[in-house]
Chain A
Amino acid sequence: MRNAVPVLTVVAVIFALWYGAAVVLNAPWAYDKAKRADVTLGFSELVADTWSQDKPKLPAPHQVAVEIWNTTGEMIKDGRAFSKRSLIYHAWVTFSSTMLGFLLGTGLGIALAVGIVYNRTMDMSVMPWVIASQTIPILAIAPMIIVVLNAVGISGLLPKAMISMYLSFFPVVVGMVKGLRSPGPMQLDQMRTWNASASQTFWKLRLPSSMPYLFTSLKIAMAASLVGAIVGELPTGAVAGLGARLLTGSYYGQTIQIWSALIMAATLAAVLVGLIGLMQRITLKRMGMAE
């Protein structure tokens, strides 16, 4: 709570800058219109115009807010929450492939991490490649994966989820390997003195100690998964999803549409990452690991 005032101040400054930038960026078009209509613009008219253009270079925050309301709340009131023009529908499409990819990626990541921790050959063979692959701009493959999977008859949710999975499993592998290895030699020796089996050591020591690491990587994985889903919607001329909204918006110069999709994506990211943060707090608290 101590941070509330500073954070609100910063946010207020951001909004002020946003409004200011909208005036500056949209002014040329406003002057252009005024010139053709043969009127001269006073300052207040200029500001009013720059904050209400149809296709502004930078829409003012309230324009975006109105657009978001029109495509969400308004449509719910009309009972068309899942019509193709509704942002809720597009967010839902992106959300489902994000979640599917996230779950697949997390599963794969944890499995791989367990393999790496327990199998020396796998550790030395695979781990360097996992780390190296993080340095490769994986997203470049996105369009190809979608086309290839389409060619073998897989379409819809799964190709996008594959990209999300690909992006989200790296942080999970790296975090889980670190976490499963976090028990010190003393704790492992302790287990040995009790003659604990490998699976007992895993369930009673290694897995619980890895929880803080797991949640930290899950947050990164979730954010990455969402990016994957959005980018996965770009190249194929997909018609649904927040990425598709971004793309059609950019084709037709619908800046307000782009910004509302962007804000929606940001909200989605914040909610999803926030949910994992909540799960983290509850879990760690029940395990007695939270501070």
Chain B
Amino acid sequence: MMWVVAGLAAWALGWWLNHVLSHRPRTRFTRLAVPVIFGLTIIVVWECIVRGFDIPTVLLPAPTQIAARFAASTGILWQDFVQTAIKGALTGYILGCGAAVLLAIAIDRSPFLKRGLLPVGNFVAALPIVGTAPILVMWFGFDWQSKAAVVVVMVFFPMLVNTVQGLQDTEAMQRDLMRTYAASYWQTLFKLRLPAAMPFIFNGLKIATTLALIGAIVAEFFGSPIKGMGFRISTSVGQLSMDLVWAEIVVAALAGSGFYGGVALIEKAMTFWHPSQRGRA
């Protein structure tokens, strides 16, 4: 009972604090503090509820249990992280995004190909591509290569569509300007179209980060060596060791937001000139 009351109190305190903070002028401090307080409140409430209602670990372990398990099994978690996030997701991400950008530049020269490939690309981008995982696992074996292949297929089309759109995103006037300079195709590409396409390319790159991790993890459900985040999650669920599952999810969350944040940082550095980035300095 104590714990439940404590949980309610923590919730009330957190919400009140945020209410006060969010009605003060927005500063960098409140913008950071408010969500952090909210997150901490959730964790405290979670802990209190698990303890207060004696929820079995199998259903929902308490944050402290997860933290303890995390600290105790950093070795396994690191090994899984390298297998899935670095070898599978990152390799596939680089290959897939790179290939998509190159193909986008190639088809950009042909209006016919663009008109043909864009609708197909848009269509494929909306399909449940994860479904190709079993096929690719069959083709490329159980190790990380097949996971990278799934990631390549998953990130390719969103990236292609975004890049092609970006390359088209130049004003008629800017293109006329390059014409008055009698600029060559490659000069126009490197000096005008690629820089102008950067915001779109980064949009695609950001979408692809999430897809890459999802692809790498889900592909492991179809077969993997005895390491990897997806493997660990599905086997631990089978053994009902939920604290390890949660620890693995924490790793996935950290990897996902770290990956995304990294791309967002590079984006900020490279497209500082775009109105969407200029606003928040």
List residues of chain A with CB under 8 Å of any chain B CB: 2-3, 5-11, 14, 25, 57-58, 120-121, 123-129, 132, 134-141, 143-144, 147-148, 151-152, 219, 223, 226-227, 230-231, 234-235, 242-243, 246-247, 249-250, 253, 255, 258-259, 261-262, 265-266, 269-270, 273
Residues from chain B with a CB closer than 8 A to the CB of A235 are 221, 234, 237
Contact A265 B116 (CB under 8 A): no
- Among B18-26, B71-79, B168-176, B183-191, the stretch in contact with A: B18-26
Q: Beyond the given A144-B242, A258-B134, could you list 14 further A-B residue pairs with CB under 8 A, ordered by the A residue number?
A: A58-B135, A121-B18, A123-B22, A124-B34, A127-B35, A137-B253, A137-B256, A140-B217, A144-B237, A147-B237, A148-B58, A148-B59, A246-B131, A269-B127
- Chain A residues, Cβ within 8 Å of B6: none
A143–B253 touching, CB < 8 Å: no
Whether B39 contacts A227 by the Cβ 8 Å rule is no
Q: Contact: A10 with B120, CB < 8 Å? A: yes
Q: State which residues 230-279 of B face A: CB under 8 Å.
A: 230, 233-234, 237, 240, 242, 245-246, 248-249, 252-253, 255-257, 259-261
B213 touches A137 (CB 8 A): yes
Chain B residues, CB < 8 A from A262: 131-132, 135
Residues on B with C-beta less than 8 A from A255 are 135, 138
A265: chain B residues within 8 A (beta carbon):
127-128, 131
Return chain A residues, CB-CB under 8 Å to B240.
Answer: 147
Q: Are A125 and B34 touching (Cβ within 8 A)?
A: yes
* CA–CA, A218 and B28, complex, Å: 33
Give every chain B residue within 8 A of A270 (Cβ-Cβ).
123, 126-127
Closest to A13 in B: B116
**B126 adjacent to A132 (CB under 8 Å):** no
- The CA of A243 and the CA of B128, in the complex, are separated in Å by 10
13 sampled A-B residue pairs with Cβ under 8 A: A6-B113, A7-B115, A7-B119, A10-B120, A124-B31, A132-B257, A135-B259, A138-B214, A140-B229, A147-B240, A231-B130, A234-B218, A266-B131
Chain A nearest CB, measured from B18 CB (Å): 5
B38 interface contact, C-beta 8 A? yes
Contact partners of A25 in chain B: CB under 8 A:
139
Contact B210–A137 (Cβ < 8 Å): yes
- Asked whether, in the complex, the Cβ of B127 is within 8 Å of the Cβ of A124, the reply is no
B46: CB under 8 A from chain A?
no
Query: B15 in the interface, Cβ–Cβ < 8 Å?
Result: yes
Give the distance in Å from the alpha carbon of A270 to the alpha carbon of B218 in the complex. 22
Shortest B221–chain A CB gap in Å is 5
CB <8 Å contact, B120 and A124: no
- Chain B 88-125: CB-based contact to A (< 8 A → 1; otherwise 0): 00000000000000000000000011111101100100
B99 to chain A, nearest CB (A): 15
> Which B residue sits closest to A147, measured CB to CB?
B237
Instruction: Check if A246 sits within 8 Å of B116, measured CB to CB.
Output: no
Contact yes or no, A151 B58, CB < 8 A: yes
Given contacts A136-B256, A140-B248, A223-B128, contact A247 B134 (CB under 8 A): yes
User: Which residues of B sit under 8 angstroms from A10, Cβ to Cβ?
Assistant: 113, 116-117, 120
What is the 8 Å Cβ interface bit string for chain B, positions 4-42, against chain A (1 contact, 0 not)? Answer: 000000000001001101110000001100110111000
Given contacts A7-B116, A148-B60, contact A124 B138 (CB under 8 A): no
Contact (Cβ within 8 A) B131 A230: yes
Nearest CB of chain B from residue A10's CB, rounded to whole Å: 4
B234 touches A143 (CB 8 A): yes
Q: B237–A143 contact, CB under 8 A?
A: yes
